[in-house]
Amino acid sequence: MHRRRRVTPLPAAIELPGGVFVNPIQHQLVPAPGVAAGLGFYLAGMDEVHHQLFWAVRAMSDHDIGRLALPGAHSVGALVLHIGEAEWWWMQCVIGGHQLNDQDCQAVFWDVLEAPETFAGRGYSAAFCLSEVEKIRRQTRERLAAFSDRDLERTFAQERNGKPHEYSLRWILHHLIDHEAQHKGQILMLKRMMGLANPDPLGAMES
């Protein structure tokens, strides 16, 4: 998986108790390549949360990815695909102007949170769910490559609940980071409720 976080040792060593000298690890978020620098910082933030999601889900069994932690809850697999669904809609429909069609509504991620009790019957694996959202992230990169940093304040119109709204590109990218982070936390909570271990978040950051 593509990583945007640069981890480099600093030249000055620090003395720890006991007279041990170590080089501290510096964590820096650098712009993702292939897009303008300002956009790249947002994309790097999206990739950081995406990487944490990947490590939280990748080792789950086919059974666990589809089961419900409690009645009425969503499965982890459905939430992963919903993250992709939201990103696809904002990037391709709101920003790209794509009009939904019948083929779109057949996508594995579309309306995936409907009827949560039926998701396990689809037989999706963790690898499949993650690969689907990774395809969507590649489409996002391609979409953003056509923009410059000046477009961060460009607005896109969308009607919601019968009212007109305008969203800046900057707001949309921030929203996508926030949306994935919220559902990542939800997924970690559901895993604990199912008695499953979660990865060390600092270990995921440095991997």
Q: pLDDT tens for the chain, 207 residues: list them.
A: 555 555 554 457 777 787 777 877 778 889 999 999 999 999 999 999 999 999 999 999 999 999 999 998 999 999 999 999 999 999 999 999 999 999 999 999 999 999 899 999 999 999 999 999 999 999 999 999 999 999 999 999 998 889 999 999 999 999 999 999 999 999 999 999 999 999 876 655 555
23 within domain boundaries: no
**31-56 pLDDT per residue, tens:** 999 999 999 999 999 999 999 999 99
Which structural domain range is residue 149 located in?
30-206
Q: What was the pLDDT predicted at 205?
A: 55
- Token pair recorded at residue 68: 């419900």
Residue 159, domain CATH: 1.20.120.450
pLDDT of 201 reads 64
Backbone angles phi, psi at 81, to 5 degrees: -65, -30
Q: Single out the residue of 25, 66, 71, 29 nearest to residue 46, CA to CA.
A: 29
Residue 122 tokens, joined: 């689809």
Q: Would you list the DSSP string of the chain? A: ----EEEEE-SS-EEETTTEEEPPEEEEE-PPTTS-HHHHHHHHHHHHHHHHHHHHHTT--HHHHHS-SSTTPPPHHHHHHHHHHHHHIIIIIIIT-PPP-TTGGGSTTTTTTSSGGGGGGG---HHHHHHHHHHHHHHHHHHHTT--GGGGG-EEEEEETTEEEEEEHHHHHHHHHHHHHHHHHHHHHHHHHTT-----HHHHHH-
Question: What is the predicted pLDDT for the residue at 13?
Answer: 75
Within a domain: 2: no
Q: Pairing mode, if any, of strands 20-22 and 163-168?
A: unpaired
Q: What is the pLDDT of residue 123?
A: 94
Q: Does residue 8 fall inside a structural domain?
A: no
Per-residue confidence (pLDDT) for residue 84, from 0 to 100: 98
pLDDT computed for residue 26 by the predictor: 76
pTM for the predicted model, two decimal places: 0.87
- Please report whether residue 9 resides in a domain: no
pLDDT at 14: 78
Number of domains within the chain? 1
